[in-house]
């Protein structure tokens, strides 16, 4: 079995600060309108933001309920400076719910520009918006679900069952060989030059380190002998929790790529990767992702 050890690797999305004040979710007035209510609008992974003249990006917290009489559920995210912050997921554009002046931006592209307190609110809002958008009916009887507990619980009207937000655990690993080269791959679904480290979802009844070993074997045919946990971060696109690892493979065997999953994969020295990046022959994940943090973690070491 693989050994597990490890310090922690941090990313912009792990520097979170907000207090969610979960005990207040059951209060009857927590979602009520009022002068102390502020609304954060999200839609399909995007959040409403403002951009200052100097390019600084922040969340747009609106004082008026943006639902315009519709029944979109609200989610209590916590309080900021005495104000209740309520998230609301709006549907696709419509005259009532899509103010042309509202700037909705994909959180994957702007999360690393937000201060930690804003990033924390936005991540929770986007994740909960995705859950409410996808979870409308009871899986047992098909009856409509009604939101409770500040939007964090859905209850079936028919059988009374409770349903809670879902988070899917996924491992992501920077695999190295005995020469300390890093393995980068291009997923068959990635755009042309985009390369990253390997990743995959944890299966039922499986440990996290077991998932690392299995995914590496499945995707590129390598046996991993050592696994080192380095940190985690939310990735609510739509509802993942990424668990990051360094991993070491036996020797430098040839790669056996998983058909229909991995289009190409190769080992890189630090010099080779820097040359490929300088020549713009490959692209790497954005700075807010744990995959990029794993690459940079290896790239900045001596080797």
Which residue in 105, 122, 9, 13 sits closest to 61, CA to CA?
122
Residue 233: name the closest of 4, 15, 7, 20 by CA.
15
Domain boundaries, the chain: 3-10+167-299, 31-134, 135-165
| Equal CATH topology for 3-10+167-299 and 31-134 | yes
As a whole number of angstroms, the distance between CA 227 and CA 213 comes to 8
CATH class, domain 3-10+167-299, is alpha beta
CATH code of 31-134, in short, is: 3.90.79
Would you write out the chain's pLDDT as a tens digit for each of its 303 residues? 566 555 577 776 776 666 789 999 999 899 999 999 999 999 999 999 999 989 899 999 999 999 877 789 999 999 988 899 999 998 876 555 555 568 999 998 898 899 888 998 999 999 999 999 999 999 999 999 999 999 999 999 999 999 999 999 999 999 999 999 999 999 988 778 999 999 999 999 999 999 999 999 999 999 999 999 999 999 998 889 999 999 999 876 689 999 889 999 999 999 999 999 999 999 999 888 999 999 999 999 865
Model confidence, pTM: 0.87
Phi, psi of 114 (to 5 degrees): -85, 150
Nearest alpha-carbon partner for 242 in 153, 160, 144, 173: 173
């Amino acid at each position: 079995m693989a050994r597990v050890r490890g310090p922690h690797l941090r990313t912009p999305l792990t520097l979170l600060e907000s207090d969610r004040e979960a005990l207040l979710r059951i209060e009857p007035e927590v979602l009520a309108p009022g002068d102390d209510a502020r609304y954060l609008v999200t839609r399909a992974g995007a959040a409403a933001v403002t951009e200052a003249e100097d390019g600084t990006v922040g969340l747009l917290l609106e004082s008026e309920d943006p639902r315009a009489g519709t029944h979109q559920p609200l989610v209590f995210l916590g309080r900021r400076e005495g104000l209740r912050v309520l998230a609301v997921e709006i549907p696709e554009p419509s005259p009532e719910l899509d103010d042309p002046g509202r700037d909705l931006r994909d959180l994957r592209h702007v999360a690393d520009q937000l201060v930690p307190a804003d990033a924390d609110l936005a991540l929770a809002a986007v994740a909960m918006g995705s859950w409410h958008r996808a979870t409308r009916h009871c899986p047992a009887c098909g009856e409509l679900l009604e939101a409770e507990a500040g939007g964090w619980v859905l209850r079936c009207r028919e059988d009374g069952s409770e349903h809670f937000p879902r988070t899917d655990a996924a491992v992501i690993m920077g695999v190295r060989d005995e020469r300390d080269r890093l393995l980068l791959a291009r997923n068959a679904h990635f755009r042309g030059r985009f390369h990253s480290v390997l990743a995959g979802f944890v299966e039922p009844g499986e440990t996290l380190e077991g998932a690392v070993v299995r995914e590496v074997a499945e995707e590129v045919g390598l046996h991993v002998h050592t696994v080192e946990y380095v940190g985690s971060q939310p990735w609510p696109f739509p509802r993942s929790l990424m668990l990051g690892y360094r991993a070491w493979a036996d020797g430098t065997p040839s790669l056996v790529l998983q058909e229909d999953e991995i289009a190409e994969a190769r080992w890189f020295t630090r010099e080779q990767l820097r040359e490929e990046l300088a020549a713009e022959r490959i692209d790497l994940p954005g700075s807010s992702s744990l995959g990029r943090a794993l690459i940079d973690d290896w790239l900045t070491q001596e080797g």
